[in-house]
Chains A and B, each alone.
Chain A
Amino acid sequence: MAEKPVSEYRGSIHQQQKDLMLDWYQRLDHAAETGDPPTVSMMISGNCVELLEGFGAIPQYPEVNALQLAIRHQSLEPILAAEEMGYAGDNCAYVKADIGCMLKGITPTGGRLPKPTLVLCNFVGCNTYVKWFEHVSAFTGAPLFVLDVPFLRNDTPSQADIDYVVRQLKEVVGQMEELIGRKFDYDRFRQSVAYSSEVEELWSQIKHLAKNSPSPFDAYFDAITLMGPLYVYRGKREGVEFFRAALNELQQKVKAGEGVYDQERFRVVVEGPPPYPYFRTFRDMFASWKAVAVASTYSTVGGLWEFGFRHDAKNPFESVAMHMLAQNVTNRNYLQRYDQIRRYVQEWNADGVIIHFVKSCRLFSAGQGDMRDYFTKQLGVPTLYIESDLEDPRYFAEAQTKNRIDAFFESLEHAKRTAAHAVSA
């Protein structure tokens, strides 16, 4: 019998992140019970969690709820409930799972989720969010603020873009002050921005550790584990402590020459969100080839820090605006994503690119055929294109996906062997 692949690294940081996330859910449960602390519904991507700290408020992320449900194999029931009330088969399944849960009172942990003090639609690049948050507000009765973040049409945002976002951030502050009946604590906000920049530095260093061969962690699957604290605790001392511990642990692994597997056979870059309902199954498909993701675009949804951007406590509002406008993958234009992946392939020394098309998310997926064309034809980078969904278990074809992944690595292996042969000859 073939040896079952050891498919993931389980360090102490995995337990720590679990504890942090459970603690967050408990605070949300407490908020549902007592109304304290105030909570704000936000989108992960380009989130301005630092602003919330100025009110001692905590974030609620509908996406995190949705993905938690999917990973626990509980997403289909709420999706069906939403479809019954009129959502289409082709609507984003994250939205359907979230709305379905809300209507049926289902939560990922079994605890309660509070009615948000404010539904803050920090729309960055995802048009679906505009609808999603409008629906959340309509169904919960919570007030809605749409923070309109101009899409990054050019390489960098214009001054008008930055001014527009800053003005709106200040409008959010004004609305929150009215809703909570408490003044915005500017110093606490600035402190939070400072914590964020520390966390971002640590996170960026972690990302760069994947340039080592073997990489000490999988920058797709393991990065997702670390993303929870990144979005909930980025602007807090606990976040700094967690990421310091994480960096330390991974640095030790690099020193010891330890990788994700006993031997690292392939290095890939992954584009697109994972199929959460089959997260483990999907991971094992890569594990059986000892293929490690050295970088991924999905882990930059909430922020892109490995290329140098940090929040800046000297200009807190402007830097929050910059993060929302230009430093997360979803508000950057499609060609900037090509370039991001190209840098990963070259600087992180990858053998190929895995493009995971997810039916739910057109932001990620519309045009990925062209992306494949760019990488295979223009750059000559081996590319695998597979399709499923991030939330709806009905769209995962296990045998077909596995066949395609196997065929891809077989051909990569063949190409490597041929190349090695050519060198030795």
Chain B
Amino acid sequence: MKQFERTFDSLLEGMQDLSFAGVWRWKEQHPGAKSVAFFPVYAPVELVHAAGMLPVLLSGAGDRLDIQHADSRFGSFICSVIKTTMEMAMTGHLEPFDGLLFSSICDSARNLCFVIKRNYPRMYVDFLHLPHSTSDSSVEFLTEEYRRIVVELERMSGAPIQPAALRRSIALYNIQRSLVRQLYDLRAESPYLLRAWESYVLIRSGNFMPVEEHIEILKQALDYLPSRPGKKRDAIRVVIEGAFCEQPPLELIRLLENAGCDIVEDDLAIAQRWFTEDMPLTDDPVRALAESYVHRSVYSSVRHDFSKPRWEGLAEKVRDTRAEAVIFLIAKFCEPAYFDFVLFKKKVDEMGLPHLLLEFEEKLFTFDRLRTEVETFVESLVFD
């Protein structure tokens, strides 16, 4: 039991370490192997893995790096994760990586891709166009787009990606995603066994280590958790929506729980929950990746399926987890989340559910105002 509790410290350290010691270690153990970092929200990590490379999430520096240079490149009204990522680039923090992959999540992130490309011309920096449509032509297109990325990765590694290797990678990530699903199910069922911040660390830390290691950690957690001592408490069941890219400080997640919220669903670790079911292992695995993206992925403010509105996705989430309230946790200047808030809020209102909007920045130091807001919100529900 103690060992399990200690695991959190090392996982947390791994995901907050701006020197990426784990990535350097992996590269030492795999001489000549490359590492590719991807900017949130989603990236086809299976392709990177099948190329024999280590995929690593790149999502800013939180409160661990002062912005001294990046402000001169990205001015006012731009979210923090863009600036801290740029600051990381400008202060040598991206040296462990041989490549950076960006995708079509928002205009700022896209421009960041090209700004980094100009300033670091020796690095492989690419932009992946993920379709905003779910027609059959989108599958065709994305298959070709993934094949383009495959060619780039092969150029970097110097070896072709064999379909069998890609199928093995897909199978591994299927296991990882299925374990993550189990963890979320367990949390929704028995939130007292696993706090949201703990599950967040368990899952998100997987972005900074080989998937094989992460699978073992998740298995151990799932073995242990049902027998973990824990007490049911009086709390309201809430869904957190909106923090899919820039991440709130861990302290903020703890604050929500301490104020009396059981977070039964969230979009904080959405990369590892991207697919709603296992990806099929077919003869054309690149196409399977594309098909799964277009037809079998989660709703998200940065992925558009106009045959099924995203607010219906949120409504399903609320119903499935029997949530009593929705907390919109939105990063300052995050346009996709703020646009979706308008129609999400409308839906939540129609469902008769209370909701609260909280704005955060990854580098938040004082939490008093937010604590008061959350406590007032929870009290208003408990004493209603």
Is the CB–CB distance between B71 and A369 below 8 Å? yes
Contact with A along B100-132 (1 / 0, CB 8 A): 000011111011101101110000001111011
Question: Nearest Cβ distance between residue B143 and chain A, in whole angstroms?
Answer: 9
Q: Decide: A153 and B74 in contact? CB cutoff 8 A.
A: no
In the complex, which residues of chain B have a beta carbon less than 8 angstroms from the beta carbon of A127? 104-107, 110, 335-336
**Does A168 lie within 8 Å of B137, measured CB to CB?**
yes
Q: Give the contacting residue for A362; candidates B118, B131, B335, B346; CB below 8 A.
A: B335
Chain A residues within an 8 Å CB radius of B131: 148
CB distance B135 to A168 under 8 Å? yes
Shortest CB-to-CB span from B57 to chain A, Å, is 21
Interface size class of A (residues with CB under 8 A): 35 or more
Does A359 make an interface contact (CB < 8 A)?
yes
**Which of B104, B148, B346: most chain A Cβ within 10 A?**
B104
Residue A164 at the chain B interface, CB threshold 8 Å: yes
Residue of B nearest to A137 (CB): B306
Identity of the chain B residue whose Cβ is nearest the Cβ of A144 in the assembled complex: B306
List of B residues within 8 angstroms of A333 by Cβ: 110, 114, 127
- In the complex, A226→B78 CA distance in Å? 32
The answer to whether A134 and B342 touch (CB under 8 A), given A146-B133, A168-B137, A367-B74, is no
For B126, give the chain A residue with the smallest CB separation.
A153
User: B333 — which chain A residues lie within 8 A by C-beta?
Assistant: 90
The contact of A359 among B77, B82, B114, by CB within 8 Å, is B77
- Return chain A residues, CB-CB under 8 Å to B117: 335
Is the CB–CB distance between B104 and A171 below 8 Å? no
Q: How many A-B residue pairs have CB under 8 A?
A: 150
User: Which chain B residues lie closer than 8 Å to A91 at the CB level?
Assistant: 335, 338-339
Closest to B311 in A: A138
Q: Which of B75, B132, B137, B304 contacts A368 (CB 8 A)?
A: B75
CA distance A148 to B309 in the complex (A): 17
Q: Counting CB contacts under 8 A, is A104 at the interface?
A: no
In the complex, residue of chain B having the shortest beta-carbon distance to the beta carbon of A170: B137
Report the minimal beta-carbon distance from A138 to chain B, rounded to whole angstroms: 6
Out of B76, B111, B118, B342, name the residue touching A87 (CB < 8 Å): B342
B115 close to A367 (CB less than 8 A): yes
Q: Cβ of A425 < 8 Å from any Cβ of B?
A: no
Contact A367 B114 (CB under 8 A): yes
The digit string for A326-354, where 1 denotes a CB below 8 A from any CB of B, is 00000001110010000000000000000
* Alpha-carbon distance A276/B71, docked complex (angstroms): 26
> Contacts of B71 on A, CB cut-off 8 Å?
369
Bound-state Cα–Cα, A88 to B242, Å: 14
* Chain A 128-153 interface residues, beta-carbon cutoff 8 Å to B: 128, 130-132, 134-135, 138, 144, 146-148, 150-151, 153
Known: A151-B110, A334-B115, A370-B115. A362 touches B78 (CB 8 A): yes
Residue of A nearest to B104 (CB): A151
A397 CB–B CB distance under 8 Å: no
Q: How far, in angstroms, from A131 to B344 measured CA to CA in the complex? A: 12
Q: B20 on the interface (CB 8 Å rule)? A: no
Specify which chain B residues have a CB less than 8 angstroms from the CB of A369 in the assembled complex. Answer: 71-75
Q: Which A residues are in CB contact (< 8 Å) with B342?
A: 85-87, 135
Q: Is A365 part of the binding interface, using a Cβ–Cβ cutoff of 8 Å?
A: yes
Bound complex: CA of A297 vs CA of B132, how far in Å? Answer: 26
Neighbouring A residues of B126 by C-beta, 8 Å: 153
Interface centre among A126, A132, A370, A373 (most CB of B within 10 A): A370
B93 within 8 A of A: no
B interface, over-half SS: helix
Report the separation of the CA atoms of residues A144 and B82 in the bound assembly, to the nearest whole angstrom: 31
Q: Is the CB of B82 within 8 A of A366?
A: yes
Residues of A within 8 A of B133 (CB): 146-148, 168
Would you call B345 and A86 a contact (CB within 8 A)? yes
A301 neighbours in B (Cβ, 8 Å): none
Most buried by A among B73, B131, B309: B73
Mask of B324-355 contacts with A, CB within 8 angstroms, 1/0 = 00000000110110111111011000000000
Question: Which chain A positions have C-beta within 8 A of B107?
Answer: 125-128, 361-363, 366
A157 to chain B, nearest CB (A): 10
Tell me if B63 counts as interface (CB < 8 A to partner A): no
User: A91 CA to B115 CA in the complex, in Å?
Assistant: 23
Find the A residue at minimum CB distance from B341. A86
Alpha-carbon distance A90/B332, docked complex (angstroms): 8
CB-CB under 8 A from B108, the residues of chain A are 362, 366-367
Closest A residue by C-beta to B144: A160
> Contacts A128-B107, A130-B304 hold; do A367 and B73 have CB atoms under 8 A apart?
yes
> Assuming the A-B contacts A148-B133, A158-B148, A168-B133, are A370 and B119 also in contact, with contact meaning beta carbons closer than 8 angstroms in the complex?
yes
Q: Establish whether residues A366 and B111, one from each chain, have CB atoms under 8 Å apart when the complex forms.
A: yes
B339 and A135 contact, CB distance less than 8 A: yes
The answer to whether A171 and B137 touch (CB under 8 A), given A90-B333, A362-B107, is yes
How far in angstroms is the closest Cβ of chain A from B151? 11
A-B contacts besides A127-B336, A148-B133, 17 pairs, CB < 8 Å? A90-B77, A125-B107, A130-B132, A131-B335, A148-B141, A151-B110, A153-B128, A160-B145, A164-B141, A168-B135, A168-B137, A171-B137, A335-B117, A367-B115, A368-B75, A370-B115, A387-B76
**28 CB-based A-B contacts, threshold 8 Å:** A86-B341, A86-B345, A86-B346, A88-B338, A90-B77, A90-B332, A126-B107, A127-B335, A131-B340, A144-B306, A146-B132, A148-B131, A148-B132, A148-B133, A148-B138, A148-B141, A153-B126, A158-B144, A167-B140, A168-B133, A171-B137, A333-B110, A359-B77, A362-B335, A367-B114, A368-B75, A370-B115, A373-B72
Which 9 residue pairs of A and B lie closest in terms of their CB atoms, listed nearest first? A160-B144, A334-B114, A131-B339, A366-B108, A164-B141, A148-B133, A88-B338, A367-B111, A370-B73
Binding site for B on A (CB under 8 A): 85-88, 90-92, 95, 123, 125-128, 130-132, 134-135, 138, 144, 146-148, 150-151, 153, 158, 160-161, 163-164, 167-168, 171, 333-335, 338, 357, 359, 361-363, 365-370, 373-374, 385, 387
